[in-house]
């Protein structure tokens, strides 16, 4: 009996060695079965970074002076009140899509946040582009670099 069990295990090893693991390795996505679309979960974030265009402060200033751009501050209302780009709108990221009708139509939209890596402003730009808004850019360097360069700022809720 033991010999038969050992022999069947030995014979099964080559078959088991060719089998693929049932779960993907950490950090990899499981492909959808043939003929079926992958599941989509509302509100879920993907592991891929959103794609969005960036604009330099110099180019943003030129557009602003020409009256062709509107700045959208995606930080919280409290952060906005402590200091913001003069003339910008406060549309926190959580309210951006719902309140986007407050943005003057036909202008280039330049989102900005406090970080120099354009994380929140980049997410906002990608969200707007995903909703069909054209000419959207995230400001390189954000609020911090704008302020540090001594460009026009304002404080307060407006």
* pTM: predicted TM-score of the whole model, two decimal places: 0.68
| 8 Å CB contact between 108 and 71 | no
Question: What pLDDT does 3 receive?
Answer: 59
- Can you read off the two tokens belonging to residue 9? 């295990």
Active site amino acids = 115
Q: How many CA atoms lie within 13 A of 139 on its CB side?
A: 31
* Pair type for strands 108-112 and 136-139: parallel
Look at residues 99, 146, 139 and name the one whose alpha carbon lies nearest to residue 120.
139
| 8 Å CB contact between 83 and 100 | no
Look at residues 113, 141, 131, 134 and name the one whose alpha carbon lies nearest to residue 55.
141
Q: What is the pLDDT along the chain (158 residues), one digit of tens a residue?
A: 555 544 444 544 444 444 444 444 444 344 444 444 433 334 444 445 557 899 999 999 999 999 999 999 999 999 999 999 999 999 998 899 999 989 988 999 999 999 878 889 999 999 999 888 889 999 999 999 999 999 999 999 87
């Amino acid at each position: 009996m033991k010999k038969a069990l050992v022999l069947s295990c030995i014979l099964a090893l080559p078959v088991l060695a060719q089998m693929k693991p049932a779960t993907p390795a950490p950090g990899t996505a499981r492909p959808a079965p043939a003929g079926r679309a992958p599941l989509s979960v509302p509100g879920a974030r993907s592991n891929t970074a959103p794609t969005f265009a960036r604009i330099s402060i110099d180019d943003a200033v030129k557009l602003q002076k020409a009256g062709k751009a509107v700045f959208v501050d995606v930080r919280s209302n409290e952060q906005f009140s402590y200091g913001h780009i003069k003339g910008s709108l406060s549309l926190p990221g959580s309210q951006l899509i719902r309140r986007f009708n407050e943005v003057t139509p036909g202008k280039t939209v330049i989102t900005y946040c406090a970080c120099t890596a354009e994380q929140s402003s980049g997410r906002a730009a990608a969200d707007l582009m995903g909703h069909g808004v054209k000419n959207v850019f995230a400001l390189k360097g954000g609020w911090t670099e704008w302020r540090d360069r001594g460009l026009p700022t304002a404080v307060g809720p407006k």
